[in-house]
Amino acid sequence: MSTANSSLLATARAAIQTRSAELRKELGIRDLILAQILAVVVPDFFGTAVKAGPAHVVLWLLAILLFFIPQALLVAHLNRLMPLEGGLYEWARLAFNDGIGFLVAWNLWLFGTLYTAVIGLIATTFLAYVLGAGAVWMASNRMFILFASAVFMVVLIFIARLGLRVGKWVTNFGALCILATLSVLVVMPVVALWRGALQEYHPLRLVAPPLTFFSLSVFGKMTFGALTSLEYVAIFAGESRDPARNYARSIGIAAPVIALFYILGTSAILAFVSPDSLDVIGPIPQALSRGAEAFGIAKFIVPVVILLLLANYFSSFSLNFTANTRLPMVAGWDHLLPEWFTRLHQKYKTPVNSILFVGAVAFAAAVVALIGVGAEEAYELLLTWSFTFYGLSYLAMFAIPLLAHRDRGLRPGLWLRLAAASGFLVTLLFVLLSAFPIIQVRSHWLYSLKTVCIVAGANAVGVLVYQLGKRRHRSNLPTALAPK
């Protein structure tokens, strides 16, 4: 990197780090490792992978090779150069321009907000598993789902307000919960085979997937849905200790653990549940329930494990929600949103206005998603919309090594550019296929139309918000400093 390029990045880094100096540096290497595991391992997407049947191992290996490894290499590279609060938003803004950076932050924010909106659907499904047949109504009763959403949203707002001093322990506990739950899941079919409850079990069998549109859709969703978010924790770079060094180390430790559990966990679910009878909202509780029945201990073990999994979900939502509140704050630092979003709590140094705003929008999204559809379709719609927004952000991330302005000094060597190209193509496949449902829905064309309209319309709104923000900032500048 030339001296001029180094100076350009150093100046930009210094300006952002000056603003983030007020924030508390709470996250160490242990917290980052556990946060990476919590952010990436999403129990929902075990169900997506199960839809591929015995071909899932080959699809997982392709996903790891073509997407997960490129993502890990690129995130470590970009964070080393730009360890800044706001993560991918700042990487894209400094690599391209304010407009692209804002749209990346906009899509990241929409992803986090809509994903948080599924918390009521997740909570009621898992509570129904814990409480038994008499509580099945919870998972389909709209008023109860909305009540659960409201309660959990208030708790998320409270934790985010207290900051990462408290939030990191919620994150760490949630990561340990998912590791414990998946360990039980992975061991269960092995024990069942040993006891004779299963006739055979081949967790690493290689079966070629059929070349169909459905297989491509499942591959795109399990790849991008399950193996993203290594960059998400980097949003907290300004609240971490030695982020340039520790983020790369946390990725190197967490990534192999994540890949192994995804492959073995999917095989374990398939040992007890067929793709046709899968509960896409609660695939792990469903498999644990059926597996434990073979031992006659389901009523003792399954509720405990499901509660651990619910704790993991809540911790994941807490991490996601808290990170999402930082994006309006950092955009406010860059004068792309009103200063109102940057106001910090006097004691906890958290963006209190941004926290309340994100919580209100997430709850509104939960209400809207349930209009005119069942719980499972609402869940699938929210996931599809949120991860499609996320996919657009990832396209920008993978484009940085390929298309960033040469004067920014962000063009890496050939191998990393090839890795970025691979990640870009896999992400593009996911985005293009995101409107194709993998579950039974009332109307395929209406499902697809909703997805296209939501994504296109939301980004049109994002462009308008950006233009209004730039116009407001220009009007507030002294006449001598205003651009001609």
pTM of the prediction? 0.87
Give a yes or no: residue 398 inside a domain: yes
Number of domains, the chain:
1
CA distances from 359 to 92, 125, 216, 365, 476 (A): 25, 22, 34, 10, 29
Give the model's confidence band at 2: pLDDT under 50 very low, under 70 low, under 90 confident, else very high.
very low
Range with lowest mean pLDDT among 39-48, 251-260, 323-332, 413-422: 39-48
Mean pLDDT, the chain, whole residue set:
84
Q: What is the pLDDT of residue 37?
A: 96
- pLDDT, greater one: 134 or 146: 146
Asked if 138 and 128 touch (Cβ cutoff 8 Å), the reply is: yes
Residues 194 and 182: their CA atoms lie apart, in Å, by 19
Give the model's confidence band at 4: pLDDT under 50 very low, under 70 low, under 90 confident, else very high.
very low
Give a yes or no: residue 8 inside a domain: no
Angle between helices 243-272 and 164-195 (to 10 degrees): 30
Residues 221 and 213: their CA atoms lie apart, in Å, by 12
Q: What is the pLDDT of residue 22?
A: 87
Residue range of the domain that includes 30? 24-474
Give a yes or no: residue 4 inside a domain: no
Instruction: Give percent above pLDDT 70 in the chain.
Output: 87
Give a yes or no: residue 482 inside a domain: no
Asked if 79 and 242 touch (Cβ cutoff 8 Å), the reply is: no
- pLDDT, greater one: 134 or 150: 150
Q: What is the pLDDT of residue 371?
A: 63
Give a yes or no: residue 479 inside a domain: no
Range with lowest mean pLDDT among 178-187, 195-204, 268-277: 195-204
Asked if 157 and 166 touch (Cβ cutoff 8 Å), the reply is: no
Buried b / exposed e across 276-306, counting CB within 10 Å, b at 16+? eebbbbbbbbbbbbbbbebeeeeeebbbebb
pLDDT exceeds cutoff 80 at 320: yes
Give a yes or no: residue 18 inside a domain: no
How far is CA 237 from its chain centroid? 17
Residue keyed to tokens 């509780």: 285
Give a yes or no: residue 296 inside a domain: yes
Give a yes or no: residue 11 inside a domain: no
CATH label of the domain that carries residue 306: 1.20.1740.10
Q: What is the pLDDT of residue 439?
A: 53
Q: What is the pLDDT of residue 197?
A: 76
